[in-house]
Amino acid sequence: MIRTIGVTYDNEVELNESIDEVDFSRYRWFWTDFDQPTDHELQHLAYTFQFHPLAIEDCIHRLQRPKLDYYDDHTFFVTHIVREEEMEIIKEELDFFVGDNFVVTFHNLPCTEVAQVWNRLLAYRNLEKWNPFYVFYEVLDKIVDNYFPLLYKIEDSLDRIEDNTQNKSMDHLMDELFDTRYMLLSLRQTINPMRDLLYRMLNSHHLNEVMERREYFADIYDHLIKLSDMVTANREMTSDVRDSYLSLNSHQTNNVMKVLTIITSIFAPLTFIVGIYGMNFEYIPELGWQYGYFLTLGFMAVIAVVMFLWFRRLGWFK
Amino acid sequence: MIRTIGVTYDNEVELNESIDEVDFSRYRWFWTDFDQPTDHELQHLAYTFQFHPLAIEDCIHRLQRPKLDYYDDHTFFVTHIVREEEMEIIKEELDFFVGDNFVVTFHNLPCTEVAQVWNRLLAYRNLEKWNPFYVFYEVLDKIVDNYFPLLYKIEDSLDRIEDNTQNKSMDHLMDELFDTRYMLLSLRQTINPMRDLLYRMLNSHHLNEVMERREYFADIYDHLIKLSDMVTANREMTSDVRDSYLSLNSHQTNNVMKVLTIITSIFAPLTFIVGIYGMNFEYIPELGWQYGYFLTLGFMAVIAVVMFLWFRRLGWFK
Amino acid sequence: MIRTIGVTYDNEVELNESIDEVDFSRYRWFWTDFDQPTDHELQHLAYTFQFHPLAIEDCIHRLQRPKLDYYDDHTFFVTHIVREEEMEIIKEELDFFVGDNFVVTFHNLPCTEVAQVWNRLLAYRNLEKWNPFYVFYEVLDKIVDNYFPLLYKIEDSLDRIEDNTQNKSMDHLMDELFDTRYMLLSLRQTINPMRDLLYRMLNSHHLNEVMERREYFADIYDHLIKLSDMVTANREMTSDVRDSYLSLNSHQTNNVMKVLTIITSIFAPLTFIVGIYGMNFEYIPELGWQYGYFLTLGFMAVIAVVMFLWFRRLGWFK
Amino acid sequence: MIRTIGVTYDNEVELNESIDEVDFSRYRWFWTDFDQPTDHELQHLAYTFQFHPLAIEDCIHRLQRPKLDYYDDHTFFVTHIVREEEMEIIKEELDFFVGDNFVVTFHNLPCTEVAQVWNRLLAYRNLEKWNPFYVFYEVLDKIVDNYFPLLYKIEDSLDRIEDNTQNKSMDHLMDELFDTRYMLLSLRQTINPMRDLLYRMLNSHHLNEVMERREYFADIYDHLIKLSDMVTANREMTSDVRDSYLSLNSHQTNNVMKVLTIITSIFAPLTFIVGIYGMNFEYIPELGWQYGYFLTLGFMAVIAVVMFLWFRRLGWFK
Amino acid sequence: MIRTIGVTYDNEVELNESIDEVDFSRYRWFWTDFDQPTDHELQHLAYTFQFHPLAIEDCIHRLQRPKLDYYDDHTFFVTHIVREEEMEIIKEELDFFVGDNFVVTFHNLPCTEVAQVWNRLLAYRNLEKWNPFYVFYEVLDKIVDNYFPLLYKIEDSLDRIEDNTQNKSMDHLMDELFDTRYMLLSLRQTINPMRDLLYRMLNSHHLNEVMERREYFADIYDHLIKLSDMVTANREMTSDVRDSYLSLNSHQTNNVMKVLTIITSIFAPLTFIVGIYGMNFEYIPELGWQYGYFLTLGFMAVIAVVMFLWFRRLGWFK
Ligand SMILES: [Mg+2]
Ligand SMILES: [Mg+2]
Ligand SMILES: [Mg+2]
Ligand SMILES: [Mg+2]
Ligand SMILES: [Mg+2]
Ligand SMILES: [Mg+2]
Ligand SMILES: [Mg+2]
Ligand SMILES: [Mg+2]
Ligand SMILES: [Mg+2]
Ligand SMILES: [Mg+2]
Ligand SMILES: [Mg+2]
Ligand SMILES: [Mg+2]
Ligand SMILES: [Mg+2]
Ligand SMILES: [Mg+2]
Ligand SMILES: [Mg+2]
Ligand SMILES: [Mg+2]
Ligand SMILES: [Mg+2]
Ligand SMILES: [Mg+2]
Ligand SMILES: [Mg+2]
Ligand SMILES: [Mg+2]
Ligand SMILES: [Mg+2]
Ligand SMILES: [Mg+2]
Ligand SMILES: [Mg+2]
Ligand SMILES: [Mg+2]
Ligand SMILES: [Mg+2]
Ligand SMILES: [Mg+2]
Ligand SMILES: [Mg+2]
Ligand SMILES: [Mg+2]
Ligand SMILES: [Mg+2]
Ligand SMILES: [Mg+2]
Ligand SMILES: [Mg+2]
């Protein structure tokens, strides 16, 4: 579906549902949205708008890295929209062609961020504030704002993993930790290039429009720096949780080993001794002694106590 | 609560408890403090002072990253005040709007750093030294000075963990170590942006006021570099402590295993032998030998000694 | 084999199978391909084309690092073609000498990327678009595009390792992980210098030809940045998989140890007790008691239950 | 104690033991040394020399980070003197105020580096080479030269730890390794800022005096780069030693476990079998067989051999 | 030994074996080689050539870091020659003083790289190509070329360690791995400063001579970048090998533990049961049962099978 909003020279808003019938010359500026275009509709990028073949190629290929390219009469932006589904990051590409009197958005999946701004523009009265770059700003601001809930969700999930408030098995926790790390890795691959994209915009001499609204794009840049910091800090947190768990585990193994060794060390000699007097040799003098049994019990008690004291001296009961 | 200190053209200090009654034109410069403002009082940011909507948005949202933004007639600063409570870092935001003849501070929680400077200014006689940027410097200096006790506390706690002077259990120590690492991570997210903020101030060409007192802000920058170094070094220390602990643990497990193996290896064959002569077969020739019992004891002694020597040759008793 | 395509001044394409018979003066520009040249054919680099000895040395030595060198009348490029064979990265060098009216390619192994462009040029009608730098762009684009399938294969293999969908033994998985890491390391040593090469091209003031087609080379640069990101992320993934596996393993060892210790701790005292009443002393009073056997059984049941409860209290059954 | 060496306009050296009696106007340049000054003597920094309050504050506070500050008529340097005592790094601060015709040194502990240069200056005949910056160079050169023995000592100690030439227990070695890492961390916090200080000096346009003797300060900078490299390499060495030790330990644990498992696996079934024929059932047919005992012995030998071969096939004896 | 080759104004080569008899004014340029000079011969650096005291100090001190220093009429270079002996890196320093009409080399050990160029120059006819900087280039090229065999040897040794083709014990392998890491660390401390030295040469405005032969020094720089990449990649490889080994080991320990636990868990209850019926109580009813023995055997078989099935359900046999 390709729809166009045109803003006439006397600031009227017009909505065109079909690209074929639009008379672009009537508009001071317009916004065309390629919403899940068919293969046939794709042709308009080249024939109607005459965009550069490389930019068109980037639209069609899935999931380019976020970036901006300067072309003769417009700037081309690739951005990522990010959602989470069952501990997996889903990314969609949203492309912008922004020129002096047009903005073209392109997306292969329904995009709420575009829809919200689209409807707001249609409903708006005072159109002086709006222009192609302002449309771009409004959508971009929504995209970046929508990264936050994801990171907050990851932080909450990390808190749950760390305290194991849900009393899950360790295998389960380690699995969740791994998935969390993977989500952070995946987010980083979107957030860092987005941040660099904004940085280039703010420090570029090509984009006069950005300069006029510098503080607005700087505000988005702020958000992206904060997001990037959060991703880094959360990845470090995940390794801390894992290392912490490993330390604890190794300490626990050690303790279990000590219990086993103490038990074995005490009972192995005792069992051997009772085995001796269980032998059936015809001549074992001790067997005939009157107090042989009690002496043996006493002797074994002494061994057990000595063993116990030895392990205590080794500090194994601490 | 919104209070204002005005400094008149003849250097008199006046305190206004209500924003509505202030006649700003009477003052050479003034300082307005938004101390935990109500929703209604928030309006003054936009209506009375006409600050930029993005700066106001940053005030209202909680815990922006420390930063500075240049606006037409003032500079906007976001800073963090940091406290510790039960091994957790608590952060509060303190915002500054600094212009030629005004400084506006904004905080949603009581703030001792602001209160101290506020009272000092009220009590001061010679006001020539003071101006809006000097107020900003004085509060900022206090904020950064207050980061140090926190880091010293962390260093002390790390010392205690490392030597385990309080004889805590390992689980406990590892838990404290994890919390310490988290506190350092959290501090880094405040200290590094604060350091970068000061760096930008010192190298900016927008802030003439800073240039005139360059050495004062450079002194704060020094502190922040030192703090940043301390955070880095302490994080490395924590991993060293943990790795050290892991090494020791693995070594100890090894030792415990050796004890267990030696005990088992000596007693398993002996217990087997006494078992043999405990069998009730009708015809076991050895049982009838006169010295069968003593020969068996001797044979077992030989086995025990051989085992012992073998383990010693393997170096297990070192 | 040294073949030459010449483009005459009236845009005719001519193919020369032998270098000795080419009349270079007849061509507006030409492309000579050194395809697995013999030692004798190598001489033409120095005698026919008079390239710089250092560039020729780089051709002859195997596998230089990707780079570009500016010489007086041409630019020399070293690039890598990469294939995978049985979990090993195979690299081949493809060198370019690009001048105003010539491009010379040099490779010691058959090279499909060169062959494809060669044949396309031969079949082409409209030759205005083509020139030496365009030949270079076309081959380079193919080379870099061919890096992607390799990385996708590695990503698939990592997915298989992580989920162990093929139910392989752990030794096998760790081995594959190691090989994957090695492949990524090896790829990084090609992709990062290739990326830097493109970066230098795009920011160089020597290459006017590149400037005229900047967006095309920038497109290749995009691909290389994405590849470099993928290599980094995949290497982090591999360490995550390994650390995850280590954590799990350590947790499992711990569990196995607990089972062993519980079994041993319950049966060691019981076996000792039955050993006591298996002794053959003439005077063991308990043996004559009427309910001695049942009392002993009961006593042992109590010990087993106490042990069990103790371990449960220690949380070993969680 | 505050002592002053004055160099008169006819190049005579004069020593003044009391600051109160010095007539600074008589000297072409002078050197005042604050050697462990009393609180009262501290006043001279502000009243006699009128240094900047921030520089004086840095003198008084203990252990600022090494740095340099430019003030109107002098440059202020903070440097560290480093000693080692029982595997711990002790740092002392030495501060310099260097102006056109004076150098002031400040230290709260006795300082041999200052004393050596002080005495050399007093003994010197030809004073043309000397000026305030030369005094600073001479002391700084000594300070940095004294960092080397410390690092050599650490390197020697690391060699000893690695080869364990002194046959210490593992706990001891790990403890020394931890202390060594801590010393390196502490050294890095002095050496890196010192290196940056020299770098700033060499690349500053404020210090004409340095420019005239550039090669001398560059020589100190060389030393500091080498020291910084050594610290980095030695820290990596320490992790290598520890990782190496961990690997070995884990391998050894594995071996001990194998011995234990082999012993247990062979004797557990044998002990069970002899237990069977130790039972006192009235009717156990095998007990009456003539060769029952020998058959049983033979059967057990077969089990032992089979077990042994099985473990050999598993590769546990390698 | 101090020998000098002089090139006269009519391009004749003259060899002087003694420094004292050389008439430097007769030569267009000359090359003096200090080959393992005596303390007495060292004086010529200061008296005959009047080099800067700091450069002379660097010659005399052993093993400075590779670097270059600009002095008034010459440039001073410190370089490292590297050999391997029994898994240890041996480094020697070779220093150059390069001026407009002279090159002075200085080394405290015999140096084949110098000898080769020395002899080539003596044997050369056409001397126009040669000048002091060309001598420096020729020796430097040889030095850097000789770094490669060392790294190839390390790579081969790493391959051998990884596959353990020589079937060495693990202790041995870990030891070799540690030595390899140490060699790489040591090489890095030579190669990286050498690389930076070349980078400075290529980007310096002091060295006109280098600019004229830029491509030659750039060729050496290429080699050093490749070497630096190789060192980095090989160090990562060594950690991969070690981590791989650790993973495998931990997995193996786990498996051994499982065998031990299965054996113990099956035989501990069985041995307890046979112990029960080995007791000598006068009244144990089961002992009199006709099929008591067979019932007991059957019961024990059931226990063994149940245990076996339980462990199989736990997945311990996978
Ligand atoms: Mg796309
Ligand atoms: Mg936003
Ligand atoms: Mg990335
Ligand atoms: Mg904002
Ligand atoms: Mg916003
Ligand atoms: Mg962070
Ligand atoms: Mg971490
Ligand atoms: Mg706020
Ligand atoms: Mg302060
Ligand atoms: Mg941060
Ligand atoms: Mg200070
Ligand atoms: Mg201060
Ligand atoms: Mg560390
Ligand atoms: Mg080649
Ligand atoms: Mg391509
Ligand atoms: Mg590399
Ligand atoms: Mg593209
Ligand atoms: Mg492409
Ligand atoms: Mg990772
Ligand atoms: Mg001080
Ligand atoms: Mg020195
Ligand atoms: Mg540091
Ligand atoms: Mg030196
Ligand atoms: Mg020196
Ligand atoms: Mg290391
Ligand atoms: Mg030397
Ligand atoms: Mg070479
Ligand atoms: Mg180094
Ligand atoms: Mg080369
Ligand atoms: Mg070469
Ligand atoms: Mg690695």
User: Looking at A98-102, D70-74, D217-221, E220-224, which range is the least confident one?
Assistant: D70-74
Given pLDDT bands bounded at 50, 70 and 90, which one contains residue A97? very high
Task: Tell me the chain E residues in contact with residue C287 when contact means C-beta distances shorter than 8 Å.
Answer: 280-282
Provide the pLDDT confidence category of residue E288 given band limits of 50, 70 and 90. confident
Structure tokens that stand for D28 in this block? 């072409």
* Integer Cα distance of B271 and E156 in angstroms: 52
More confident residue, B28 or D129: B28
A19-23, A122-126, A304-308, B64-68: lowest mean pLDDT where?
Answer: A122-126
Can you give the pLDDT at residue D124?
80
- A252, closest residue in chain C (CA to CA): C254
Residue that the structure tokens 């596998």 belong to: C63
CB A153 within 8 A of CB A231: no
From the CA of C234, how many Å to the nearest CA of chain E?
Answer: 14
* Mean predicted confidence (pLDDT) in A93-117: 95
Q: Please report all neighbours of E, defined by 3+ CB atom pairs within 8 A.
A: C, D
Would you state the structure tokens that stand for residue E318, as one six-digit string? 């996978």
Confidence class for position B253, pLDDT limits 50, 70, 90: confident
Selection from D187, D183, D217, D212 nearest residue D201 by Cα:
D217
Neighbouring C-alpha atoms within 13 Å toward the C-beta of E22: 23
CATH architecture entry for D251-313 = Up-down Bundle (1.20)
- Smallest Cβ–Cβ distance between E259 and the set D218, D253, D261 belongs to D261
Q: Would you list the DSSP string of C14-73?
A: EEES-GGG--GGGEEEEEEEEES--HHHHHHHHHTS---HHHHHHHHSS-PPSEEEE-SS
Residue C315 has what pLDDT?
82
Least confident of A30-39, C40-49, E212-221: E212-221
D1-126 homologous superfamily? CorA soluble domain-like (3.30.460.20)
Q: Please, are residues E187 and E89 in contact by the beta-carbon 8 Å criterion?
A: yes
**Which residues, other chains included, contact D253 with Cβ-Cβ below 8 Å and sequence gap of 6+?**
B250, B253, B254, B257, E253
Q: Report the percentage of chain C scoring pLDDT > 90.
A: 58
Full 3-state SS string of chain B: CEEEEEEECCCCEEEECCHHHCCHHHEEEEEEEEECCCHHHHHHHHHCCCCCHHHHHHHHCCCCCCEEEECCCEEEEEEEEEEECCCCEEEEEEEEEEECCEEEEEECCCCHHHHHHHHHHHHCCCCCCCCHHHHHHHHHHHHHHCHHHHHHHHHHHHHHHHHCCCCCCHHHHHHHHHHHHHHHHHHHHHHHHHHHHHHHHHCCCCCHHHHHCHHHHHHHHHHHHHHHHHHHHHHHHHHHHHHHHHHHHHHHHHHHHHHHHHHHHHHHHHHHHHHHCCCCCCCCHHHHCCCHHHHHHHHHHHHHHHHHHHHHHCCCCC
How far is E170 from E175, CA to CA, in rounded Å?
8
Instruction: Specify whether the CB–CB gap between C253 and A253 falls below 8 A.
Output: yes
CB contacts, 8 Å: D218 with chain E: 69
Please compute Rg for chain A using Cα positions. 36
Give the nearest chain A residue to C247 (CA atoms): A246
Q: What's the whole-number mean pLDDT along residues A45-72?
A: 92
- Joined tokens for residue E143: 């030095």
pTM of the model: 0.85
**Which residue do the tokens 């999930």 mark?**
A157
Q: Which pLDDT score is estimated for D161?
A: 87
Give domain limits for chain D: 1-126, 251-313
Q: For residue D317, list chain E residues with Cβ-Cβ distance below 8 A.
A: none
D215, E246: Cβ pair inside 8 Å? no
Q: Which ligand approaches the C-alpha of residue B60 most closely?
A: 8
Average pLDDT over residues E134-145: 95
- Per-residue confidence at E53, pLDDT binned at 50, 70, 90? very high
User: CA B247, CA D174: separation in Å to the nearest integer?
Assistant: 7
Distance (Å) from CA B229 to ligand 10 centroid: 13
Helix, strand or coil, per DSSP, at residue D99: strand
pLDDT band at D193 (very low <50, low <70, confident <90, very high): very high
Residue A238 has pLDDT above 80, yes or no: yes
pLDDT at C249: 84
Q: Please, what is the average pLDDT of chain A?
A: 90
Check pLDDT > 90 for residue E192.
Answer: yes
Question: In D78-146, which ranges are continuous DSSP H helix?
Answer: 112-123, 132-145
- DSSP bridge pairs for C11: none
Lookup result for tokens 């429009």: A209
Q: Is D131 helix (H, G, I), strand (E, B) or coil?
A: coil
What's the mean per-residue pLDDT of chain E?
90
> C-alpha distances in angstroms, A105 versus A1, A96, A113, B265, D182?
12, 5, 11, 76, 56
Segment B41-58 shows an average pLDDT of 93
Angle at B285 between CA B283 and CA B289, to 5 degrees: 135
- Closest chain C residue to E245 measured between Cα atoms? C174
Interface test with B, best of D206, D264, D274 (most B CBs within 10 A): D274
- When pLDDT is cut at 50, 70 and 90, the band that residue A5 belongs to is very high
pLDDT band for E83, please (50, 70, 90 cuts). Answer: very high
User: At A32, which helix (H) or strand (E)?
Assistant: strand A27-35
The yes-or-no verdict on residue B2 having pLDDT over 90 is: yes
User: Angle at which helices A132-145 and A112-123 pack, to 10 degrees?
Assistant: 140
The three-class DSSP label of residue A79 is strand
In B, which residues are within 8 Å of A268 by CB distance? Answer: 263-264, 266-268, 271
Instruction: Mark yes or no for CB contact C263/E264 under 8 Å.
Output: yes
Residue A200 near residue A77, CB atoms below 8 Å:
no
**Percentage, residues of chain C above pLDDT 70:** 100
pLDDT score, position B134: 93
> What is the rounded CA–CA span in Å between residue C93 and residue C107?
6
Least confident of D94-108, D155-169, E220-234, E287-301: D155-169
pLDDT exceeds 80 at position E75: yes
- Is D218 or B244 the better-scoring residue by pLDDT? D218
Asked whether residue E15 carries a pLDDT value surpassing 80, the answer given is yes
CA distance B175 to B153: 17
pLDDT at B32: 96
> A38 — alpha (psi -120 to 50), left (phi > 0) or beta?
beta
Q: Is the pLDDT of residue C149 over 90?
A: yes
pLDDT at C60: 92
Residue C20 pLDDT class (50, 70, 90 cuts): confident
| pLDDT tens digits for range E87-136 | 889 999 999 999 999 999 999 999 999 999 999 999 887 788 889 999 99
Give residues with Cβ within 8 angstroms of C273, minimum separation 6: C296, C299, C300, C303
- What is the chain D residue with the closest CA to E170? D251
Q: What is the CA radius of gyration of chain C?
A: 36
* Per-residue pLDDT at E309: 93
Residue in D67, D185, D280 nearest the CB of B237: D185
Contact B130, B124 (CB under 8 A): yes
> From residue D174, how far is each of B250, B257, D34, D168, D186 by CA, in Å?
12, 20, 42, 10, 18
Q: Report whether D143 contacts D94 (CB < 8 A).
A: yes
- Local structure of C98: helix, strand or coil: strand
Quick one: pLDDT at residue C5? 95
For this complex, say whether ipTM is above 0.90: no
Q: What's residue C246's pLDDT? A: 84
Question: Which neighbouring-strand residues pair with C70?
Answer: C75
Q: Look at the block and give the residue holding tokens 């600063």.
A: B77
What is the SS3 assignment for A302?
Answer: helix
pLDDT higher than threshold 80 for residue D171: no
| Nearest partner of D231 among D141, D142, D173, D158, judged by Cα | D158
pLDDT for res B214: 86
> Confidence band (pLDDT; 50, 70, 90) for B31?
very high
Nearest to B247 among D189, D246, D289 (CB): D246
Of A95, A92, A93, which is closest to residue A103 (Cα–Cα)? A95
Q: Which residue has the higher pLDDT, D207 or C119?
A: C119
How many other C-beta atoms are found inside a 10 Å radius of the C-beta of residue B9?
Answer: 9
Helix/strand/coil for A171: helix
- Neighbouring chains of A at 3+ CB pairs under 8 Å are B, C
The Cα E309–Cα E318 span in angstroms is: 13
List CB contacts (< 8 A) between A219 and chain B: 54, 57
C25-53 pLDDT, tens digit each: 999 999 999 999 999 999 999 999 999 99
**Contact flag E259-D265 (C-beta cutoff 8 Å):** yes
Q: What is the pLDDT of residue A281?
A: 86
- Shortest distance, CA D258 to any CA of chain B (angstroms): 9
Span from the CA of E141 to the centroid of ligand 30 (angstroms): 6
Determine the distance separating the centroid of ligand 12 and the alpha carbon of D79, expressed in angstroms.
Answer: 18
pLDDT tens digits, A290-309: 888 889 889 999 999 999 99
What pLDDT shows up at residue B243?
Answer: 86
CA distances to A228, B147, D70, D87, D109 from D67, rounded to whole Å, are 31, 21, 10, 26, 20
The mean pLDDT of B22-47, rounded to a whole number, is 93
Q: CA B158, B164, B166, B171 torsion: positive or negative?
A: positive
Q: Is the pLDDT of residue A169 over 80?
A: no
Length of chain B equals: 318
Q: Region B139-162: what's the mean pLDDT? A: 93
Least confident of A198-202, B246-250, D10-14: B246-250
Say whether pLDDT at A126 is over 80. Answer: no
